[in-house]
Amino acid sequence: MGTIRIIRGDITKIKVAAIVNAANTTLLGGGGVDGAIHRAAGPELLAACQKLHGCATGEAKITPGFRLPAQFIIHTPGPIWRDGTQSEACLLHNSYRNSLALAAAYNCQTIAFPSLSTGVYRYPLAAAAVIALTTIRDFLAANTVIQTVTMVCFDATTLAAYQQAYQQVVGN
């Protein structure tokens, strides 16, 4: 079974086969991690994303990494938190699962995720971390392509939430 790592860092500097972009449904760039990935990858990324014609919440699409150390960028729009009754948990699960499936289909052995939907989309961090790690754990148990999944946490609060969720979901 693959390994789950949790680190604090800048996802645009991580050397892996694929990084995941917390995109919006247009895929044309935005704030937070999405804007940072678009800036670091260069203008070729916007041109590639324009050809994809958007992406539904919970789905995933792939582009080259362009100027990033990652070979690929997997774009997935996570759900905007409303009140927890609008299928947010299912959509967040789908964002992680569909990103992992796309990475495996492209034979990526390593993938890095940011914390999806927990920034401007306001998904509660502790709940999002449990969904993320549960989905990743279950995917790795059934898949042999991906060897390492790295959760890249932007700040200490996010790092602590993922470390706590890891103890709950994975153990050790």
Q: Please name the residues in contact with 105: beta carbons below 8 A apart, sequence gap of 6 or more.
A: none
Most distant CA pair in the chain: distance in Å? 44
Catalytic residue from among 34, 83, 138, 155? 34
Alpha-helix runs per DSSP H in the chain: 32-41, 43-50, 88-105, 125-142, 156-169
Whether 34 is catalytic: yes
Inter-CA distances, 91 with 57, 62, 63, 88, Å: 7, 18, 21, 5
Catalytic center residues:
34
